[in-house]
Amino acid sequence: MNASIPIPNLPWQDRPSSSRDIVWRYSDNPIVTKANIPYANTIFNSAVVYRNGHFEGVFRCDDREMQQKLYLGSSENGIDWTLSDQPLTLYNTDGTPAGQACGYDPRVCLIDGRYIVTWCAQYHGPTIGVAWSEDFRTFYRLENAFLPFNRNGVLFPRKINGKYCMLSRPSDNGHTPFGDIFLSQSPDLEHWGCHRYVMGACGGWSWTKIGAGPIPIETNEGWLLFYHGVATSCSGMIYSMGGALLDLEKPWQVRARCKPYLLHPEEGYERVGDVPNVVFPCAALCDGNTGRLAIYYGAADTVVALAFAHLDEVVDYILQHAE
């Protein structure tokens, strides 16, 4: 297990005695539903960070117009959340208003004292929006990181070789039936280059496409990346969660990629909803003292759910089941 900060109040349940799974679900899932925001249709695929002893989050809420926007939320225990009933407003770096945070599937990365939100923004097609905040209250928007069409932009929590690094998944303008993970590098969060292929869709549960999930977690064995993989049946896509370890200094190199998935839709709230059969991880918090992991994931494009794991076990499992 590698160094990360202690999170003494990290949500936690021990693995059920009946289970031998590496990742297991919170027994009172889902933890966030449409009831958390008036006028909401669904709340899912949301990101969470630990800050000053409590938890803050950026939530995807599709409202009853099915407009996709980001909302802030906070929690003392990481399970019971209070969400804003208004979408997050963004500002330009000169302090002028930049409108509501439209888009979806946010991730939040703490790096050098700034909380950086990346999400799927719309600019003549989907691409990666970037905004940062020092106080989790006022968020400043930068220009989009990439040209359209792109989704699932995920930052690393420290500069590598002096540059910011971001994973992303070039896509198309619809329900993209393909997609691989690339890594891009930037001196300033605004200009990106040195784009490198990381890994692609492959057989089984991820044959259609893959996309990075939570902010990678640094371990002795490499960056632990949870990601979603998609298979397509005759009735639609099935989203599962897998894991991989990337090289610490050359993170575009895959050290180990776990062949089996780590989580697959099985419970009712994952199987039934606006989009059936989806687990979509967007955040993973690790308690530096115990190695306990709390993984936040969207379920069925309808609710937010929570799962648990031990960091060491996950790393070992990936190494043992690597291709």
For binding to a copy of itself (CB under 8 A), which residues are involved? 20, 38-39, 41, 63-67, 123-125, 127, 143-150, 168, 170, 172-173, 175, 178, 180, 182, 184-187, 190-195, 197, 200, 203-205, 207, 231-238, 259-261, 264-265, 268, 271-277, 301
Supply the minimum distance, in Å, between the C-beta of residue 34 and a copy of itself: 9
Residue 57 and residue 81 in contact, taking contact as beta carbons nearer than 8 Å: yes
Other CB atoms within a 10 A radius of the CB of residue 220 amount to 11
CA 110/CA 141 separation, integer angstroms: 16
Query: Min. distance of Cβ 20 from a copy of itself in angstroms?
Result: 8
User: CB 166 → a copy of itself: shortest distance, Å?
Assistant: 10
Least spacing, CB of residue 267 vs a copy of itself, in Å: 11
Task: Please give the backbone phi and psi of residue 258, each rounded to the nearest 5 degrees, phi first.
Answer: -75, 125
Distance CA 225, CA 49 (A): 16
305 three-state secondary structure: strand
| Closer CB to a copy of itself, 73 or 265, in the complex | 265
Nearest residue (CB) to a copy of itself, 113 versus 203? 203
The Cα 24–Cα 32 span in angstroms is 18
Nearer to a copy of itself, 54 or 191 (CB): 191
Residue among 209, 295, 196 at smallest CA distance from 254: 196
Under 8 Å between Cβ of 45 and 60 = yes
Of 183, 227, 222, give the one whose Cα is nearest residue 201: 227
Beta carbon nearer to a copy of itself, 51 or 163: 163
The DSSP code for 263 is B
| Two structure tokens written together for 172 | 């198309």
How far apart are CB 221 and a copy of itself at their closest, in Å?
21
CA distance 214 to 286: 11
C-beta closer to a copy of itself: residue 48 or 181: 181
Phi, psi of 313 (to 5 degrees): -65, -40
102 and 121 Cβ atoms separated by less than 8 Å: yes
CB nearer to a copy of itself: give 208 or 219: 208
The distance of closest approach from Cβ of residue 76 to a copy of itself in the complex, given in angstroms and rounded to an integer, is 26
Nearer to a copy of itself, 155 or 238 (CB): 238
CB of 78 to a copy of itself, least distance (A): 27
